[in-house]
Amino acid sequence: MHITRTRYAPSPTGYMHIGNLRTALYEYLIAKKDNGKFILRIEDTDQERYVEGAVDVIYKTLKLAGIEHDEGPDVGGDYGPYIQSERKGMYLDYAKKLVELGGAYYCFCTKERLAQLKEEQDSAGHGHRYDRHCLKLSKEEIEQKLANNEPYVIRQKMPDTGSTSFEDAVYGTITVENSELDDQILIKTDGLPTYNFANVIDDHQMAITHVVRGNEYLSSTPKYNLLYQAFGWDIPTYVHVPLILKASGQKLSKRAGDPSFEDLVSMGYLVEAIVNYVVLLGWSPSTNQEIFSLKELEEVFDISGISKAPAIFDINKLTWMNGEYIRKMPVEEFDKLAKPFYEKTLVNKNIDTLKISKLLQVRTEVLTTIPETIDFINELPDYDINMYVHKKSKTTLENSLESLNSAYPILEAISDWNEETIHTALFSHIEALGIKNSLMLWPIRTAISGKAVTPGGAIEIADILGKEETLKRIKIGIEKLKSAIG
């Protein structure tokens, strides 16, 4: 029975950028949709780019995103080892086998000769490609050079004529003229495989059925297929995905300051929202639904929904989606997520944060905005007196002073201070005065928050601040208004 087997094969070079995460998600979802297997393989043969601790970053990120692999270095499986450097002994044997099959050849050209060739091609205005100098060597010459331990690489022998076609699940039939294909290196002088060669061998050995990768690999796929054909192996289904671009049309890049998955998490975005958004970068469901859990995506994801057009990473759209996720969760869960931000910001540790969370949840899109939203709870900012003047509420400096003066004794008289008692006292007072609610509530909110925009109104803020702090701030407001009016 045919089992879908996909693999995510990152190089341990540091963080996981958005494109990597999307590839992992698509590979994972293709496998899950078919009740197949999702494999993690670490491709670490490029030692120059290896970053210490990067493998842990890969494990941590996949775990955080909820992407569980069925096989991999840490969980084992029947197709290991799952770390490329632990497989390195076999690649040379495969390359030698390919030489026997006529699909590859030894190349003994020195760095100097190759540099000179490149210089000549530059001068002539040609593209860079190997001139097949070593393809002319006789069997005896090759054996002699090997016996003398001359350094060599093994190159793939491309067909001289015709073209190579393949079917891509997203882009359809792709055809490349064989004359455009360079005789790429398969084994380097150190005996290690190039990325392109190791990839093919590993995918075959691990019985991989679907390969997801960026569309920048479209043009090199015929080289892979010629290797599969030379060995007489089944070719996997290719799923080339579009680029992810910024609104400016440039590629996302960590160097240009674009966020990685870890950055987005530390910026206050929820993992579930990031995962949901990243899947939609270049894929559309068959319905208008936009909010999906990973479980739902496992059921509805289909390769036919992947677009050919580049996807645009829009932080505003992610922010909107994050807000949707925040609003859908129970307030207790939001309070738990917000706790670290409260602990960092609030000086008074006795404040009931659940009260703050009830106000913040509907107004928060990104968790990192919490500190600047609640900083006024610690201390009253030095605010502009003209904040008391509000056209819609019909407040002026004069009537604001009247409202604060009349509200002070009413609030002072409350013995059991809570939202309900404050509400009852103030609204009875407003009714007795026969004024509009806002004429009383706007000046109080301004006096106790010192901010133009706050989570919650005067009553909720007064409840959170407590009686003593509320009265102290109203007093400051009264003095400020008195000296402004003169």
For the chain, the domains span 5-85+244-315, 88-241, 331-376, 380-485
Integer Cα distance of 35 and 20 in angstroms: 23
Residue 1's pLDDT band (cuts 50, 70, 90):
low
Rounded to an integer, the average pLDDT of 317-344 is 96
The pairing of beta strand 163-168 with beta strand 172-177: antiparallel
What is the helix (H) or strand (E) element at residue 38, kind and residue range?
Answer: strand 37-40
Q: Looking at 78-199, which runs of residues are DSSP E strands?
A: 104-107, 153-156, 163-168, 172-177, 185-187
Q: What is the per-residue pLDDT for 179?
A: 87
Residue 254's pLDDT band (cuts 50, 70, 90):
confident
Q: What is the per-residue pLDDT for 29?
A: 98
Q: Amino acid letter at 51?
A: V
Half-sphere exposure of 185 (CA within 13 A, CB side): 17
Of the chain, the percentage scoring pLDDT greater than 90 comes to 84
Residue 145 has which token pair?
Answer: 């050079």
Lowest mean pLDDT among 87-91, 143-147, 286-290, 310-314: 87-91
DSSP character at residue 141: H
Residue 99's pLDDT band (cuts 50, 70, 90):
very high
pLDDT tens digit sequence for 32-59: 999 999 999 998 877 777 778 888 989 9
Return the closest-CA partner of residue 223 out of 276, 277, 164, 281: 164
Q: Which CATH architecture has domain 5-85+244-315?
A: 3-Layer(aba) Sandwich (3.40)
Integer Cα distance of 184 and 350 in angstroms: 67
How does the average pLDDT of the chain come out, rounded?
94
Catalytic residue list contains 254: yes
Residue 286 has which token pair?
Answer: 């068959």
Integer Cα distance of 60 and 54 in angstroms: 10
Q: What is the per-residue pLDDT for 253?
A: 77
pLDDT tens digit sequence for 187-242: 999 888 988 899 999 999 999 999 999 999 998 899 999 999 999 999 999 999 99
Contact 45, 193 (CB under 8 A): yes
Q: Is 111 known as a binding-site position?
A: no
Q: Does domain 380-485 have CATH number 3.30.420.340?
A: no
Q: Amino acid letter at 419?
A: E
Angle at the Cα of 310 (from 308 to 311), degrees rounded to 5?
115
By CB atoms closer than 10 A (0-12, 13-18, 19+), residue 247 is: exposed
Residue 66 has which token pair?
Answer: 């909820």
Domain 88-241 classification at class level: alpha beta
Contact 166, 235 (CB under 8 A): yes
SS3 403: helix
SS3 483: helix
Lowest mean pLDDT among 246-255, 336-345, 464-473: 246-255
Same CATH topology for 88-241 and 380-485: the answer is: no
Of the chain, the percentage scoring pLDDT greater than 70 comes to 100
Residue 247's pLDDT band (cuts 50, 70, 90):
confident
Return the closest-CA partner of residue 366 out of 254, 264, 294: 264
Q: Is the pLDDT of residue 250 over 90?
A: no
Q: What is the per-residue pLDDT for 107?
A: 98
Q: Is the pLDDT of residue 305 over 80?
A: yes
Residue among 97, 254, 308, 328 flagged as catalytic = 254
Residue 96 has which token pair?
Answer: 């030698």
Please tell me the pTM assigned to this model: 0.89
Integer Cα distance of 444 and 473 in angstroms: 9
Place of tokens 């190089």: 11
Integer Cα distance of 438 and 445 in angstroms: 10
CA distances from 92 to 89, 99, 138, 144 (A): 7, 11, 21, 19
pLDDT tens digit sequence for 356-391: 999 999 999 999 999 999 999 999 999 999 999 999
Rounded to an integer, the average pLDDT of 282-305 is 96
